[in-house]
Structure 1
Amino acid sequence: MRNERAVVPASVVLEGEYGLEGIAMSLPCVISRNGVERTLQIPLDKEGEKNLKICYEYLRNVIESIS
Protein backbone atom coordinates (compact mmCIF):
# COMPACT_ATOMS: atom_id res chain seq x y z
CA MET A 1 0.00 0.00 0.00
CA ARG A 2 1.41 3.35 -1.00
CA ASN A 3 -0.79 5.36 1.38
CA GLU A 4 -2.94 6.53 -1.54
CA ARG A 5 -6.09 6.64 0.56
CA ALA A 6 -7.95 4.60 -2.02
CA VAL A 7 -11.71 4.13 -1.79
CA VAL A 8 -12.51 0.42 -1.95
CA PRO A 9 -15.23 -1.87 -0.63
CA ALA A 10 -14.18 -3.44 2.67
CA SER A 11 -15.89 -5.53 5.30
CA VAL A 12 -16.25 -3.45 8.47
CA VAL A 13 -18.30 -3.82 11.63
CA LEU A 14 -21.08 -1.25 11.46
CA GLU A 15 -20.94 1.42 14.16
CA GLY A 16 -24.09 3.39 13.43
CA GLU A 17 -23.79 3.69 9.66
CA TYR A 18 -27.29 3.73 8.18
CA GLY A 19 -28.62 3.33 11.73
CA LEU A 20 -27.13 -0.18 12.00
CA GLU A 21 -24.43 -1.60 14.25
CA GLY A 22 -22.65 -4.72 15.39
CA ILE A 23 -22.61 -6.67 12.11
CA ALA A 24 -19.80 -6.69 9.52
CA MET A 25 -20.87 -5.65 6.04
CA SER A 26 -19.03 -4.50 2.94
CA LEU A 27 -19.09 -0.70 2.60
CA PRO A 28 -16.97 1.79 0.66
CA CYS A 29 -14.00 2.73 2.85
CA VAL A 30 -10.98 4.98 2.62
CA ILE A 31 -7.97 2.66 2.97
CA SER A 32 -4.42 3.77 3.77
CA ARG A 33 -1.30 1.95 4.91
CA ASN A 34 -2.84 2.04 8.41
CA GLY A 35 -5.95 0.17 7.29
CA VAL A 36 -9.49 1.54 7.18
CA GLU A 37 -9.33 5.28 7.85
CA ARG A 38 -13.05 5.87 7.55
CA THR A 39 -16.22 4.38 6.19
CA LEU A 40 -18.12 6.33 3.55
CA GLN A 41 -21.86 6.47 3.91
CA ILE A 42 -23.23 6.96 0.42
CA PRO A 43 -26.80 8.24 0.03
CA LEU A 44 -29.35 5.47 -0.54
CA ASP A 45 -32.84 5.78 -1.92
CA LYS A 46 -35.74 4.16 -0.06
CA GLU A 47 -35.33 0.86 -1.92
CA GLY A 48 -31.58 0.80 -1.23
CA GLU A 49 -32.20 1.42 2.49
CA LYS A 50 -34.82 -1.33 2.55
CA ASN A 51 -32.50 -3.82 0.83
CA LEU A 52 -29.59 -2.95 3.12
CA LYS A 53 -31.75 -3.56 6.19
CA ILE A 54 -32.99 -6.87 4.76
CA CYS A 55 -29.36 -8.00 4.29
CA TYR A 56 -28.46 -6.76 7.78
CA GLU A 57 -31.33 -8.67 9.40
CA TYR A 58 -30.46 -11.80 7.43
CA LEU A 59 -26.84 -11.67 8.58
CA ARG A 60 -27.89 -10.93 12.17
CA ASN A 61 -30.23 -13.94 12.17
CA VAL A 62 -27.55 -16.25 10.74
CA ILE A 63 -25.05 -15.12 13.36
CA GLU A 64 -27.59 -15.60 16.15
CA SER A 65 -28.44 -19.10 14.88
CA ILE A 66 -24.81 -20.26 15.08
CA SER A 67 -23.91 -18.50 18.32
Structure 2
Amino acid sequence: MSSAEPTAVTWVKSSYSGNEGGECLEAAVTPGAIHVRDSKAPARAQLAFPRAEWAAFVRFAGER
Protein backbone atom coordinates (compact mmCIF):
# COMPACT_ATOMS: atom_id res chain seq x y z
CA MET A 1 0.00 0.00 0.00
CA SER A 2 1.32 3.47 -0.79
CA SER A 3 0.10 7.02 -1.10
CA ALA A 4 1.21 7.36 -4.72
CA GLU A 5 -0.97 9.87 -6.51
CA PRO A 6 -2.18 8.93 -9.99
CA THR A 7 -1.98 11.68 -12.59
CA ALA A 8 -4.86 11.54 -15.09
CA VAL A 9 -7.37 8.91 -13.98
CA THR A 10 -11.13 8.57 -13.90
CA TRP A 11 -12.54 8.42 -10.38
CA VAL A 12 -15.69 6.37 -9.74
CA LYS A 13 -17.82 6.79 -6.63
CA SER A 14 -18.78 3.70 -4.67
CA SER A 15 -22.17 2.25 -5.58
CA TYR A 16 -22.91 2.24 -1.84
CA SER A 17 -22.58 6.05 -1.70
CA GLY A 18 -25.80 8.01 -1.76
CA ASN A 19 -26.40 11.55 -2.95
CA GLU A 20 -26.87 12.90 0.58
CA GLY A 21 -23.14 13.22 1.28
CA GLY A 22 -21.72 11.37 4.23
CA GLU A 23 -18.98 8.80 4.03
CA CYS A 24 -18.10 8.15 0.39
CA LEU A 25 -15.20 6.48 -1.35
CA GLU A 26 -13.99 6.89 -4.89
CA ALA A 27 -11.73 4.49 -6.75
CA ALA A 28 -9.57 4.77 -9.85
CA VAL A 29 -8.05 1.87 -11.77
CA THR A 30 -4.58 2.16 -13.29
CA PRO A 31 -2.49 -0.59 -14.91
CA GLY A 32 -0.54 -1.27 -11.72
CA ALA A 33 -2.88 -0.37 -8.88
CA ILE A 34 -6.31 0.49 -7.53
CA HIS A 35 -6.38 3.99 -6.02
CA VAL A 36 -8.86 4.94 -3.29
CA ARG A 37 -9.70 8.38 -1.91
CA ASP A 38 -12.28 10.18 0.22
CA SER A 39 -14.78 11.84 -2.13
CA LYS A 40 -15.35 14.67 0.37
CA ALA A 41 -11.62 15.54 0.39
CA PRO A 42 -10.23 14.61 -3.05
CA ALA A 43 -7.12 16.76 -2.65
CA ARG A 44 -6.01 14.85 0.44
CA ALA A 45 -3.92 11.69 0.46
CA GLN A 46 -4.94 8.69 -1.60
CA LEU A 47 -4.17 5.04 -1.07
CA ALA A 48 -2.82 2.80 -3.82
CA PHE A 49 -3.15 -0.98 -3.62
CA PRO A 50 -1.46 -3.44 -5.97
CA ARG A 51 -4.11 -5.26 -7.99
CA ALA A 52 -3.44 -8.64 -6.31
CA GLU A 53 -3.85 -7.14 -2.83
CA TRP A 54 -7.07 -5.37 -3.83
CA ALA A 55 -8.48 -8.59 -5.31
CA ALA A 56 -7.68 -10.45 -2.07
CA PHE A 57 -9.42 -7.71 -0.05
CA VAL A 58 -12.53 -7.83 -2.24
CA ARG A 59 -12.69 -11.64 -1.96
CA PHE A 60 -12.34 -11.43 1.83
CA ALA A 61 -14.96 -8.67 2.14
CA GLY A 62 -17.37 -10.67 -0.02
CA GLU A 63 -17.15 -13.58 2.40
CA ARG A 64 -18.37 -11.42 5.30
TM-score by length of 1: 0.28
TM-score by length of 2: 0.29
Structure with the largest fraction of helix: 1
Higher gyration radius (CA): 1
